[in-house]
Amino acid sequence: MKRYFSNPTTSLNLVARVVLTIAILTNIVALTACMDPAPAATNVNLPSYTDVMNTISEYRTNYFEFLSDSNSEVTYTSSEAETPSGNPCSIVVMQSDDGQYTSATITIPMSEGSFIDEYFMINDDMLYIVRSTVSSAESDGTSFSTPTLVKYVVIGNSLYLLDEQASTISEVSRPDSFDFYLSQSEIISTYGKQEG
């Protein structure tokens, strides 16, 4: 007959190992239960980068042709305003008289320069935003460098970053931190040409 626990020290070590293994497994299960759930699957309705850029390109071509036409009738409305976060800004809204084209330029002064946000109302479902960051030296004319341009698009009240280098589109997790208007109707109703 074989003796498995002939040495009391060995049997104690074995018991300690079993208890330690059970404790570790219990802690792993408890920690797993306390962890944040897995991130939600990426937005299955995320638009294709190529489709979005093609839509924007077609719009911009037509928009600039419209602006270069000497018979184009547009109304410009300018005002001092506030961004959605309450920062002072100046805004110029351009609306074609036929309602087909609307754009807005919002200049937000900052301590080191300014943000210049250009909004293009592509269609009822898409708002294209180009943010230029201009340093204070550039804005007062003492030096010049190419402003930093970052492009976004709003589709269905979601803000997406357009990365031209990687040819990707990705949803912005905290759109409120960018101090953008996310609705063209909000810009038009607040700052655009008023009927009547």
In a domain, 174, yes or no: yes
Q: What pLDDT, on a 0 to 100 scale, did the predictor assign at position 144?
A: 61
Same domain for 180 and 86: yes
Same domain for 74 and 23: no
Q: What tens digit of pLDDT does each residue of 118-175 get? A: 999 998 889 999 999 988 765 555 666 667 899 999 998 899 999 999 999 999 988 8
Same domain for 137 and 75: yes
Domain count, the chain: 2
In a domain, 136, yes or no: yes
Whether the Cβ atoms of residue 160 and residue 43 lie closer than 8 Å to each other:
no
In a domain, 96, yes or no: yes
Q: At residue 5, does pLDDT exceed 60?
A: no
In a domain, 42, yes or no: no
Task: Using a cut of 0.85, tell me whether the model's pTM lies above it.
Answer: no
Q: Which domain holds residue 19?
A: 1-34
List the strands of the sheet with 88-96, edge to edge: 74-82, 88-96, 102-110, 113-123, 126-135, 148-155, 158-163, 168-171
Q: What tens digit of pLDDT does each residue of 57-78 get? A: 999 999 999 888 877 889 999 9
Q: What pLDDT, on a 0 to 100 scale, did the predictor assign at position 120?
A: 95
**% of the chain residues with pLDDT over 70:** 70
